[in-house]
Structure 1
């Protein structure tokens, strides 16, 4: 980021492609939430045109929204470009208002529309209104609860007794 801020960014939904002979540079335009300045994230640098999949190249040309999203969600691009996305309020766990006694233990499947960096333990605690200690006691997950995830997961909730 030009402002050297650690703040989140939003996508403008546009790529900029520059040709230099048979080499291409591709940038994704982003906007800093703090200073509102637009910056370029290098997606490809001095890459031979022949190295691109034609569909990907067309996606860059037409500013394909799915391609923009996939690049914004790419953790390697974020790390290399020193930016973070603002995930505050980006997910929640939909929970029924009442669960009948006969369905315990309760098996829950979490599915994300897009890959997101959320710690399963934190999502479960917020969604079920439990403390983290209560989650550790009552919830059995197939993945380590302290590891951030970018894919869906399944967990089982035991009764509070």
Structure 2
């Protein structure tokens, strides 16, 4: 399609989900932060492992179980090595495992702060359709409508209007997709023909300027 501006946004969340817990040191509910450290304890040939969280005010710790009483033979070597060395990449992946965290904490605070790497895949001299492809390795706590409004400089009401007029199409095809969390592989197509600020929107999507 010769009139298609195609870009890829690689999204990286900045802050892992934080469990809201009653801090034993402060005596009030605090959003505990992942410390980036794990704890491994041996009991004979069986191991326990936890991810360590800290109160941001008094530094009191909370240990989130990763597994308990597991035989050494049942633990993948790569996982065991990551626990023994506090591998930062592996620990970061565990910290963003929202489903696992929810099994130990009823209330969780998610942060919508993200970094975006913008890549222009195709930009013809004359274009009228914007195609944005989302790529992400870790879950981010931000809705799709808020992401697009913030990064393209468009009010959410205008995004909704474009969707109603079928000038904003989403790969999932769901009518409520704008209100859902962003996810890897999401495809957004915006028909901006006749829109007065088409160039500004395209520049924002491409990273040439910020809204």
Fold match (TM-score > 0.5) = yes
Residue 147 of structure 1 pairs with residue 180 of structure 2: yes
For 1:53-77, what per-residue CA distance to the aligned partner results, in whole angstroms no more than 9, with x for missing partners?
0111011000001111111000122
Distance 1:62 1:134 in 2: 49
For 1:62-109, what per-residue CA distance to the aligned partner results, in whole angstroms no more than 9, with x for missing partners?
00011111110001221012163552423458699xx99831111112
Contact 1:140 1:157 in 2 (8 A): yes
The structure where strand makes up a greater share of residues is 2
TM-score by length of 2: 0.64
Give the aligned length.
Answer: 158
Q: What is the RMSD of the two structures over their aligned residues, measured on CA atoms?
A: 2.8
Distance 1:65 1:15 in 2: 10
Q: Which moved more, 1:132-141 or 1:68-77?
A: 132-141
Structure 1: runs of 5+ lacking an equivalent: none
**Alignment CA distance shift 1:17-1:69 (3 Å):** same
Q: Decide which of 182, 185, 191 is 1:158's aligned counterpart.
A: 191
Runs of 4 or more, structure 1, over 6 Å off, are none
Structure 1 SS opposite 2:69: strand
Distance 1:10 1:50 in 2: 31
Distance 2:145 2:80 in 1: 39
Distance 1:90 1:36 in 2: 25
What does residue 102 of structure 2 align with? Answer: 79
Between structure 1 and structure 2, the one with the greater Rg is: 2
TM-score by length of 1: 0.81
**Alignment CA distance shift 1:24-1:95 (3 Å):** closer
For 1:128-154, what per-residue CA distance to the aligned partner results, in whole angstroms no more than 9, with x for missing partners?
121222112332211322222342422
Residue 19 of structure 1 pairs with residue 42 of structure 2: yes
What does residue 134 of structure 1 align with? Answer: 158
What does residue 38 of structure 1 align with? Answer: 61
The structure showing larger relative contact order (alpha-carbon pairs under 8 Å, at least 6 residues apart) is 2
**Alignment CA distance shift 1:33-1:152 (3 Å):** farther
What does residue 109 of structure 1 align with? Answer: 133
Q: Which moved more, 1:13-22 or 1:150-159?
A: 150-159
